[in-house]
Amino acid sequence: MTFLITLLAFAATLELLVVIHEGGHFLAARFYGVRVIRFSVGFGPILWKIRGKSGTEFALSLLPLGGYVKMLDSRDPTTPALTAKDKAEDFEGKKLWQRALIVFAGPFMNLLFAVLILWGIGFVGTYELSSRVAAPPQGTPAAAAGVQAGQYVIGVGDGDVKTFADLQMKLLRVAGTESTITVRDADDKTGEHAERYPIDLRSVNFKGDPNKTNPLEHVGLIPWQGDGAVPVEEVIKGAAAETAGLRKGDQIASVNGNPVTGAVMLVKTLRSSGGDEMTLGVKRGTETVSLRIRVPEVKDPKTGKSVGQIGIRVGGFPDVVRVRLGPWDSLTAGVGKLWDMSVLTLRVMGKMVVGEASVKNLSGPVAIADYAGQAVQVGLLPFLLFLSMMSISLGILNLLPIPVLDGGYLAMYLYELIVGRKPSEQAIGIAQRAGLLLILFVTLIALMNDVTRLFGG
């Protein structure tokens, strides 16, 4: 069942984003009088089709792995000789700036779609992790900067921070540099007495495997999870926790002698310890007792993966804040997130090219399908956020100046504008073959990363 949900979520995500993208090309082409021969959702044999009033054939094809818009193009060797009417609707016969706008409209629609999703989420309102942080581990940049447990981070560099997601994005933007961090105490509601500290982030980079290490973990800023010990709110009858002697009202203070810093840390530790035996340090009234427990391994119904579970419900989860903005503020916030995500994406890509970031940051279709399936199972909001991030990624990817992508065509149009003539058919053919080989190579690396993640390598 989980596999089916993952597959359907991936197909729905991919096809929706492709329809948005190709719809941009289609609308721009029709606006400038270019004849669109076919608008297909999917590739391969056509399963169903209908012809519109403009003569465009709208089709549903067998393989739901993308889609395409086929325009009347005199450069296409399969195009028959054009009549005078045909020439008026020929893509290649349009002015340079019109062709460029038709090509740009695809990625633009993906970016616009993402902003609209983010605008809607901001306007409706969500609950998000606050920017309150726990005690930074010794030796981390946050600890060296002087950040203390329970403080709120309200700024990184010149950027304001309202939620933990804001904090993460702002930190990633300045990773690898020296910057500043602004914090306020919990009782300083207005930030009147906020303090700004210099913070050295030169050691934070993207060289590691993102599945094994998070660059932000090196900063030392983690969500506030209370004052440490985690309260047990319920013990399931007959579960391992009850057998070990854990009771409702107990407070779990340590695991194997290591202090517990909050509910998230405790849950993460338990889930990764399936089959292991551990010692829990438990506060019970004025006493502290040690309980030995073997963590049963069960299958997570949402992910299908084996995890540890002892049969308790705990409290003490991180601070959350209600984020709800007006129509204009939601729009500007959406555009801001688009900008942050775009800059970060291009920055990481650039670092991968020069060897300053690991190629393991690349995700292929298997990982994307897994993320889509998990987002759908968690709820509508996480899926919409995932959809917006994917739409931004698709838009940015297509704007890269790589032949066969939209950005490659825009680069050729720039050449035409500067030189005053179109590239030769031979040059275009060579460039497109090179671009296709590059994309296949990157796709192969992404698939290898997927396989490594899948089998825990």
* Percent of the chain at pLDDT exceeding 90: 41
The residue length of the chain stands at 457
Statement: residue 210 has pLDDT above 90 = no
Single out the residue of 230, 255, 244, 253 nearest to residue 292, CA to CA: 244
Determine the pLDDT at residue 245: 93
Task: Give the amino acid at 289.
Answer: V
Coil, helix or strand at residue 193? coil
Asked whether the beta carbons of 279 and 290 are under 8 A apart, the reply is yes
The confidence score (pLDDT) of residue 376 equals 59
pTM metric for this prediction: 0.78
- pLDDT reported for residue 175: 83
Name the residue among 201, 125, 121, 105 with its Cα closest to residue 399.
105
Please tell me which residue, 345 or 68, carries the higher pLDDT value: 68
Indicate the Cα dihedral angle 233, 238, 253, 215, nearest 10°: -90
Q: How confident is the model at residue 358 (pLDDT cuts 50, 70, 90)?
A: low
C-alpha distances in Å from residue 102, one per residue of 15, 108, 369, 447 = 20, 10, 30, 31
Q: Which H/E stretch holds residue 114?
A: helix 96-124
The DSSP result for 301-362, as a single string, is: TTT--EEE--SEEE--PPPEEEE---HHHHHHHHHHHHHHHHHHHHHHHHHHHTTSB-GGG-
At 103, is the pLDDT very low, low, confident or very high (cuts 50, 70, 90)? very high
Band of the pLDDT at 302, cuts 50, 70, 90?
low
Q: Return the pLDDT at 171.
A: 87
**Torsion angle, alpha carbons of 296, 301, 302, 308, to 10:** 0
Strands 230-235 and 320-323: unpaired
pLDDT confidence tier of residue 436, bands split at 50, 70 and 90 = confident
3-state secondary structure of 1: coil
Is the sign of the CA dihedral 81, 84, 85, 86 positive or negative? positive
pLDDT at 232 over 80: yes
Lowest mean pLDDT, pick from 285-294, 421-430, 443-452: 443-452
Residue indicated by tokens 């290898």: 448
Structure tokens at 254: 């340590």
At 260, is the pLDDT very low, low, confident or very high (cuts 50, 70, 90)? confident
What is the fold of 230-311? Pdz3 Domain (2.30.42)
Summarised one tens digit per residue, pLDDT across range 140-182 is 899 999 999 889 999 999 888 988 888 888 888 888 889 999 9
Q: What is the pLDDT of residues 130-140, one digit of tens each?
A: 898 888 888 88
Question: pLDDT band for position 116 (50/70/90)?
Answer: very high
Which sequence positions are flagged as catalytic? 22
pLDDT value of position 117: 95
Does residue 361 register a pLDDT over 60?
yes
pLDDT for res 230: 86
Question: What are the angstrom distances between the C-alpha of 247 and each of 277, 287, 305, 312?
Answer: 19, 13, 28, 9
Output the pLDDT for position 259: 85
The predicted pLDDT at position 56 comes to 94
Residue 172's pLDDT is: 83
The residue behind tokens 């053919």 is 429
Domain 141-218, CATH: 2.30.42.10
Same fold, 141-218 and 230-311: yes
Least confident of 102-106, 345-349, 393-397, 414-418: 345-349
| pLDDT interval class at 63 (50, 70, 90) | confident
Across the chain, mean pLDDT equals 85
* pLDDT score of 227: 63
CA distances to 112, 145, 330 from 117, in Å: 9, 36, 10
| Confidence label for 26 from pLDDT (cuts 50, 70 and 90) | very high
Per-residue pLDDT band at 129 (split at 50, 70, 90): confident
Q: How far apart are CA 202 and CA 444, in angstroms?
A: 31
Give dist(CA 357, CA 215) in Å, integer: 11
Query: 159-160 and 36-51 as β-strands: parallel, antiparallel, unpaired?
Result: unpaired
In this structure, of 142-146, 229-233, 403-407, 445-449, the range with the lowest mean pLDDT score is 445-449
Q: Distance between CA atoms of 225 and 227, rounded to whole angstroms?
A: 7
User: Residue 147 has what DSSP assignment?
Assistant: -
- Where are the chain's structural domains? 97-125+325-457, 141-218, 230-311
